[in-house]
Chains A and B, each alone.
Chain A
Amino acid sequence: KAGVTQTPRYLIKTRGQQVTLSCSPISGHRSVSWYQQTPGQGLQFLFEYFSETQRNKGNFPGRFSGRQFSNSRSEMNVSTLELGDSALYLCASSLELAGGTDTQYFGPGTRLTVL
């Protein structure tokens, strides 16, 4: 089975621009979560989608948004980029077993650099 794939792997943008990142989960996985990873803050939860609906949301400003398609693929969008948005963005998918017992499988991430 193919793992979680994320595209693109690397992105360089300038302040004020917007960006869209894509995530394809493992086949059969319906839950997709996004995380921001930075050296100082570690992994911070952005949001989780399940069956095309946002089920959980972290403490990020409204500039960060996402969506999930009927095939479970997910995109996240960041508008009006700021220097502090430079980070590794990780996507994780899971089968959605009861109560959080399932394993999250992570993609390799998209490294976003904002200049």
Chain B
Amino acid sequence: AQSVTQLDSQVPVFEEAPVELRCNYSSSVSVYLFWYVQYPNQGLQLLLKYLSGSTLVESINGFEAEFNKSQTSFHLRKPSVHISDTAEYFCAVSPTSGTYKYIFGTGTRLKVLA
């Protein structure tokens, strides 16, 4: 079985400051890792994903996440946030074999302050 923990339910940060949203997972099998973003009154959109290869993955809007197998973590970072990054961010895992199923964390609400 898999589980995902996002320890921070809310993260306030000033505009242009760096931010890190933490994600830790537990799994007895290998997993793929995902970050999704949900803007107000919208569904979730994929931000980035780790499938294999380089442990550092980047999104087109400046976010990056690093897969750390030993610490079973996949933290999301951005060096300088904008007001428009205000949203809820969800970390998710999916087993690499068998009939797949996404397991989501409870989400982190990022609020960027002017």
Contact = CB atoms under 8 A, between A and B. Distances in A.
B71 to A, nearest CB: 22
Given A41-B106, A42-B107, A45-B103, A106 B94 contact: no
The interface size bin for chain A is: 20 to 34
A42 B102 contact: no
How many B residues are at the interface, by size bracket? 20 to 34
A41 B107 CA distance: 9
B96 A90 contact: no
Interface in A60-105: 90, 92, 99-101, 103-105
5 contacts: A56-B99, A92-B44, A99-B97, A99-B100, A100-B102
Interface of B: 32, 34, 36, 41-46, 49, 51, 90, 94-107
